[in-house]
């Protein structure tokens, strides 16, 4: 059974601070996706990383896929209140995704 | 483009009742999925389908059934509702080739 452990579960920071969310597994995934979810809505894809060691940037967000394709991280620089939400990592295997438990991020102004 | 549409948005059921959660997508995606999301637990896969007429169990299929008679629709059926099925249910779809999943806005189901 593929499992993804996501940490931390909850993060409350001040505007302007940096943060990193981690996603770890003992399983190898063909790709890893990061989603953001707001209350009352479904998850929305932020990025997909496919190659071991890959780094992708999306404005102030930096995503990294581990060399062995078992782990990933999301780093946010100078967090803004608009970054508040639930961040989910999801590993792809076969036709399915396995999701981490999510990180609730609250950015206070 | 509507994307993935789920109905109803909210529902309260009594224990033992049955209901069908509807999901339809207008993107001609082959792959469709049903998840449940419980607080602090992420999304758990209930059932999925790789095309019309083909369905398969996910991680937590007990107490649910699905059918896929058309490419567009993927309804989820609860036959005998139990309090443990109180959750938020999400439907998603995607194209072939490792493309990301597109999610609906969810159905919030309470069983009392």
Task: Specify the residue for token string 């990294």.
Answer: A64
Cβ separation of A43 and B103 shorter than 8 Å? Answer: yes
E-only strand ranges, A1-109: 5-7, 10-14, 19-24, 31-37, 44-49, 55-58, 61-65, 71-76, 85-93, 96-99, 103-108
Q: How far apart are the first and last CA of chain A?
A: 41
B2 versus B109: the higher-pLDDT residue is B109
Mean pLDDT per 10-residue segment, chain A (109 residues): 89 98 94 94 95 96 96 97 96 91 96
Contact yes or no for A88 and B48 at CB 8 A = no
Contact B64, B75 (CB under 8 A): no
Q: Is B98 on the interface with A (CB under 8 A)?
A: yes
CB contact under 8 A, B40 and A48: no
Query: Running DSSP on this structure, what letter comes out for residue B75?
Result: -
Which residue is listed with tokens 């990193």?
A: A20
CA proximity to A23, closest of A41, A44, A49, A43: A49
pLDDT in tens, B1-42: 689 999 999 999 999 999 999 999 999 999 999 999 998 778
**DSSP code, position A22:** E
Distance CA B88, CA B9 (A): 9
Mean pLDDT of chain B: 95
Mark yes or no for CB contact A9/B40 under 8 Å: yes
Please indicate if any CB of chain B lies within 8 Å of the CB of A6: yes
């Amino acid at each position: 059974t593929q499992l993804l452990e996501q940490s931390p579960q909850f993060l409350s920071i001040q505007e302007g601070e940096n943060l990193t969310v981690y996603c770890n597994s003992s399983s190898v995934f063909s790709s890893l996706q990061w989603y953001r979810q707001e209350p009352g809505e479904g998850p929305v894809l932020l990025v997909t990383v496919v190659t071991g060691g890959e780094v992708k940037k999306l404005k102030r967000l930096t995503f990294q896929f581990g060399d062995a394709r078992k782990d990933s991280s999301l780093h946010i620089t100078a967090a803004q209140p608009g970054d508040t939400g639930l961040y989910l990592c999801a590993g792809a295997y076969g036709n399915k995704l396995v999701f981490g438990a999510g990180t609730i991020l609250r950015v206070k102004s | 483009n509507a994307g993935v549409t789920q109905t109803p948005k909210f529902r309260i059921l009594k224990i033992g009742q049955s209901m069908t959660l509807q999901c339809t997508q207008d993107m001609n995606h082959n792959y469709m999925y049903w998840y449940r999301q419980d607080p602090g637990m992420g999304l758990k896969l209930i059932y999925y389908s790789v095309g019309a007429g083909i369905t398969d169990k996910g991680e937590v299929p007990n107490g649910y059934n699905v059918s896929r008679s058309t490419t567009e629709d993927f309804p989820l059926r609860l036959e005998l509702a139990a309090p443990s099925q109180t959750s938020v249910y999400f439907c998603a779809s995607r194209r072939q080739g490792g493309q990301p999943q597109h999610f609906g806005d969810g159905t919030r189901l309470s069983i009392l």
